[in-house]
Amino acid sequence: MDKQSYTCVLVSDFNLQNFAGYAANDPEFPNLKPIAAPLGQPVPTLLDHTAPHWQNAPDVAVIWTQPQSVISAFNALLTYEQVPVREVLQEVDEYCSLLVNMSGRVRYAFVPAWVLPSYRSVFGVLDMKTGIGLTNTLMRMNLRLAENLEKVSNIHVLNTHKWIERAGTNAFNPKLWYLGKIPFGNEIFKAAVQDVKAALRGMLGYARKLIIVDLDDTVWGGIVGDVGWENLVLGGHHHRGEAYVDFQQALKSMKNRGILLAIVSKNEEQAALEAIQHHPEMVLALEDFAGWRINWQDKVQNILEVMTELNLGPQSVVFIDDNPAERARVKESLPEVLVPDWPEDPLFYPATLLSLRCFEMPSLSREDLSRTAMYFSENQRQDLKKTVRSLEEWLRHLAIRVQVEELHPANLQRATQLLNKTNQMNLSTRRMSEAELMAWAEPKHRTLWTLRVSDRFGDAGLTGIVSLEIQDRKAQLVDFILSCRVLGRKIEETMLFTAIHYAHALEVEEVYARYIPTSKNKPCLDFFKSVVPRFQQQGEIFIWNVEHPFPLPEHIELVQ
């Protein structure tokens, strides 16, 4: 993970120094460098785009306010004046428009939802009544805030209530408020920093994508090889059995959200697969797993094999095993794999899984939701490969179709996701928000295409990006990005064809690609060094004379 520091502007009506302290000194990636805007002036700070803290393109902003300080109608409600809810919501709309204007100054903005101290319950059941209850009104305000900001791709509303539940009685301390204008206890700020960082990791492409689980005493109770699948502890009227079912349901929910599941287990494969297929209380089916290694080999070796099969690196993997010795072995051998400490008691398995903060994604695309199905299709492609005699024959049988589209609002979300999480086949490894990418591609001298790839086995989705910047009859290939899911099927060449063909039409003389090395994008360099027909290489720059067309691979059907 990169060592870069991300500047983080803090805008608040209260003292955020403790948040800043935790943000700056928390060892988890990414490093944050907080910049505090003037205390107590959130609205002027949001309005004034020339203020010093907005200069130098800060990466992140956290705008954390108390509802009574930015919504005056709510402040009136606090003293039980009669204020119609619609007036309150109108002010929320106005406040949201300030946030929307601010969003262009940063890459990512976070807005914690509004809360009131939990000790403020003097009117009891009236609290939830429409028009009079403070909590009722505050819930409407937060909903309005979330709905308004949902339209802006780089603003994210954070669930403050979750932090308050976690902090319990330490959530609020009036003493901190009266002494230092700090409305929350430090547990709240710690949780806020963790959530902001987890969200940023997802946005920067570091979300985990694969959960590898053990079987015995992990997804069910008991050793299937010893007791047989009929006698496993799973479901039924048994407290541990119910917990294992809930754990499987939690895994299934992860899979439905686009996270891949795989099995690495020391077992007889046939016995384990029988249990998965025949046990009536199994929530997970074989189709829910993108891959498995069920044998008596070393688990590290098996994990490496699963990663290779699914084209994922260790930084994408979470390994869950009830056996501390296996966990320690994997931790030591594959330090980039996340191996969470796992509770001894299965009753805590579901909660432990659901509290992991490593799967956060800023958005969910169609590709995310059907990822496991895509890996199934991939297995079918690989099976076909074994039956043919050459790469060309395999590619011909696949009947690949590539749909090329320019960047537009409908494909922006997925294109940004791909830009931010692709590491290997990535020429320049730029990381940008949706708004930044759209703004970059807008001028006429720049064009960005997305590529959707499908074949007879299924739709791999939007898996490629190529972009050009033209200046003085020379065009720079700025982005050259391809998901590892479709590498090696001549999609790379199709991307070059697209860019060079376009450049030729505009009478550009030369297209060049400047390779910017990272620790992970050597496959991109290898491709440019070896692609046929050859590019002229000058160090890390690869040049194509546009006088000569770049051929479209024979077996590709191009749709534009």
Q: Are 490 and 395 in contact (CB under 8 A)?
A: yes
Residue from the set 90, 173, 370, 413 that interacts with other proteins by CB under 8 A: 173
Contacts to other proteins from residues 25-44, by CB under 8 A: 25-26
Closest CB 29 distance from other proteins, rounded Å:
16
Task: Report the C-alpha gap between 279 and 233 in whole angstroms.
Answer: 10
* Six token digits for residue 60: 């992140």
- By C-beta, is 179 or 399 nearer to other proteins? 179
Closest approach of other proteins to the CB of residue 38, in Å: 16
At 11 the three-state DSSP class reads strand
Contact flag: residue 21 with other proteins (CB under 8 A): yes
Distance of CA 281 to the CA centre of its chain: 31
| Alpha carbons 339 and 212: distance in angstroms, whole number | 10
DSSP classification of residue 480: E
- Does position 186 interact with other proteins (CB under 8 A)? The reply is yes
Is 180 among the residues that bind other proteins (CB under 8 A)? yes
- Bridge partners (DSSP) of residue 294 are 265
Q: Which is nearer to other proteins, 11 or 284 (CB)?
A: 11
Query: Would you list the DSSP string of 144-167?
Result: HHHHHHTTSTTEEEE-HHHHHHHH
| H-only helix segments in 128-223 | 134-149, 160-167, 174-180, 186-203
> Is there a contact between 268 and 223 (Cβ–Cβ < 8 Å)?
no
Cα within 13 Å of Cα(198), Cβ side:
14
Q: What are phi and psi of 209, to 5 degrees?
A: -120, -10
Residue 485 contacts other proteins per CB under 8 A:
no
Single out the residue of 53, 107, 190, 381 in contact with other proteins (rule: CB under 8 A). 190
Assess 355 for contact with other proteins (CB under 8 A): no
- One-letter identity of residue 226: D
Contact with other proteins (CB under 8 A) among 6, 9, 14, 18: 18
Minimum CB–partner distance for residue 191 and other proteins (Å): 13
CA dihedral 379, 380, 381, 382 (to 10 degrees): 50
Residue 406, both tokens:
């320019």
Identify which of residues 25 and 297 has a Cβ nearer to other proteins in the complex.
25
CA–CA gap between residue 155 and residue 410 (Å, rounded): 18
- Is the Cβ of residue 182 or residue 212 nearer to other proteins in the bound state? 182
* Total count of residues recorded for the chain: 560
Return the range that interacts with other proteins (CB under 8 A); candidates 110-118, 138-146, 154-162, 169-177: 169-177
- Per CB under 8 A, 135 contacts other proteins: no
| 197 belongs to the binding site for other proteins (CB under 8 A) | no
Say whether 448 sits in a helix, a strand or coil: strand
Residue whose CB is less far from other proteins, 25 or 471: 25
Strand partners, 88: none
Q: Which of 170, 256, 355, 471 binds other proteins (CB under 8 A)?
A: 170
380 forms part of the interface with other proteins (CB under 8 A): no
Cis-peptide into 30, omega within 30 deg:
yes
- Amino acid present at 416: T
Of the ranges 168-176, 262-270, 346-354, 527-535, which one interacts with other proteins (CB under 8 A)? 168-176
Angle of helix 391-398 relative to helix 371-387, nearest 10 degrees, comes to 130
Residue 22 engages other proteins in binding (rule: CB under 8 A): yes
Residue 182 interacts with other proteins (CB under 8 A): yes or no: yes
The residue within the footprint of other proteins, chosen from 175, 278, 445, 534 (CB under 8 A), is: 175
Q: Decide if residue 117 touches other proteins (CB under 8 A).
A: no
Q: Which amino acid is it at 473?
A: R
CB of 173 to other proteins, least distance (A): 6
C-alpha 282/C-alpha 448 separation (Å) is 46
The nearest distance, CB 65 to other proteins, in angstroms, is 19
CA 178 vs. chain centroid, Å, equals: 39
Could you say which of 2, 7, 24, 368 contacts other proteins (CB under 8 A)?
Answer: 24
- Least Å distance, CB 17 to other proteins, is 5
Residue nearer to other proteins on the CB measure, 173 or 518 = 173
- The one-letter code for the residue type at 518 is T
Stretch that binds other proteins, among 17-25, 262-270, 346-354, 544-552 (CB under 8 A): 17-25
Least separation in angstroms between residue 121's CB and other proteins is 22
Residue 19 or 449: the one with the smaller Cβ distance to other proteins is 19
Task: Please give the DSSP secondary-structure letter assigned to residue 389.
Answer: S
Q: Which residues bind other proteins (CB under 8 A)?
A: 15, 17-18, 21-22, 24-26, 170, 173, 175-176, 179-180, 182, 186, 190
